Amino acid sequence: MYVYKIGICGAGTMGAEIAEVAAYAGLPVILRDIKQEFVDSGIKKANDILQRRVDKGKMSQEMKDQIMERITGTLKLEDLKDVDVIIEAIPEDIDLKIELFKELNDICEPHTIFTSNTSALSISKMGSGSGRPEKVIGMHFFFPAHVMKLVEVIPGIETSQDTIDTIVELSERFRKLPVKVKEIPGFLVNRILLPMLIEACKCLDEGVASAKDIDLAMQAGAGMPMGPFTLADNLGLDVVLNVADYMAKQYGNPNFNPPYLLRKMVAAGHLGVKTGRGFYDYSKM
Ligand SMILES: NC(=O)c1ccc[n+]([C@@H]2O[C@H](COP(=O)([O-])OP(=O)(O)OC[C@H]3O[C@@H](n4cnc5c(N)ncnc54)[C@H](O)[C@@H]3O)[C@@H](O)[C@H]2O)c1
């Protein structure tokens, strides 16, 4: 199926970035959130990404303006009635996501595909609650979505081949690298990444080395572009803890058990870059 128009639900960290990616690829985007201030801040985030390119001389002001004209913010779910693909980027709560898909099922055209940017939750469960399971699929972008190339494409049990093909093709139009992944908790990247982040926390807690030295060692010795603590601070320690808790429960595997240090930091509100403090101090940056 050819995609002409995109609807994005959630104008937060991921929704705003994905709106920029879709508009840059030439597609009209309707960006929906539940409060006007969230819609405005999402549109501002997309604008800021493009403005930085203009400031660096990589894009003309005119081109930036044309891209931004393709993004329309809204509070009304009904404004998503004529989009071909929905990209859901609302909080990581399966009941919220199913509720949204149920509402959209009554509003959108029968051909509309519902994708979820979930980091770990079951696509099959979202599909079964949506009223259109053959048209529900995972489309997992990585933060920051305007930079990171990978999109994990995750079919649920009932997802149709046409839905898979459409989302692979759409990811390519977004200039991303789509990788089809079987539905398992955490999918591919988080399944491999989480035990490494957890092990790094345990090493820090045991005094094996400082956060800075562990980061340096993983960069210089394991070829990582950024160390595990810099990465975790950027992802948000609350997000890391949530995903680790979910995966530990789903797999029953102690390798996913979040260390107490991580729990303690989240409880203290040290969530990483977004709160100014995580494994590193960002307050003076
Ligand atoms: N942050 C990351 O690094 C990252 C990376 C990959 C995937 N994800 C996943 O993407 C999803 C969104 O994460 P985020 O970090 O952007 O969250 P966020 O909290 O920054 O943004 C979520 C937005 O959704 C809005 N919202 C809530 N209910 C809504 C509804 N019914 N309709 C429209 N908007 C609604 C909220 O007001 C908020 O603005 C989650 O499932 C998360 O697991 C996050």
The yes-or-no verdict on residue 285 having pLDDT over 80 is no
As its CATH architecture, domain 6-180 has 3-Layer(aba) Sandwich (3.40)
Of the residues 20, 140, 171, 183, only one is catalytic, namely 140
**DSSP conformational letter for 119:** S
Distance 274 CA to ligand 1 centre (A): 14
Give the list of residues 6+ apart from residue 145 with CB closer than 8 angstroms, or none.
Answer: 14, 17, 18, 20, 21
Model confidence over 213-227: pLDDT tens digits? 999 999 999 999 899
- One-letter amino acid of 93: D
Q: Tell me whether residue 152 is one of the annotated catalytic residues.
A: yes
190-275 and 6-180 share a CATH fold: no
Distance 12 CA to ligand 1 centre (A): 5
Q: What are phi and psi of 112, to 5 degrees?
A: -65, 130
Average pLDDT on 187-207 reads: 94
Model confidence over 9-35: pLDDT tens digits? 999 989 999 999 999 999 999 999 999
**CB atoms inside a 10 Å sphere around CB 59:** 16
Instruction: Indicate the range of 135-139, 165-169, 245-249 predicted with least confidence.
Output: 245-249
Query: Domain residue spans in the chain?
Result: 6-180, 190-275
Q: Tell me whether residue 119 is one of the annotated catalytic residues.
A: yes
How much is the pTM? 0.92
Cβ 117 under 6 angstroms from ligand 1: yes
Give the closest residue (by CA) to ligand 1 atom 12: 89
Of the residues 119, 122, 171, 242, only one is catalytic, namely 119
Do the beta carbons of residue 138 and residue 163 sit within 8 Å?
Answer: no
3-state helix, strand, coil in the chain (%, to 5): 50, 15, 35
Average pLDDT on 80-108 reads: 97
CATH of domain 190-275: 1.10.1040.10
Q: Tell me whether residue 190 is one of the annotated catalytic residues.
A: yes
Cβ 247 under 6 angstroms from ligand 1: no
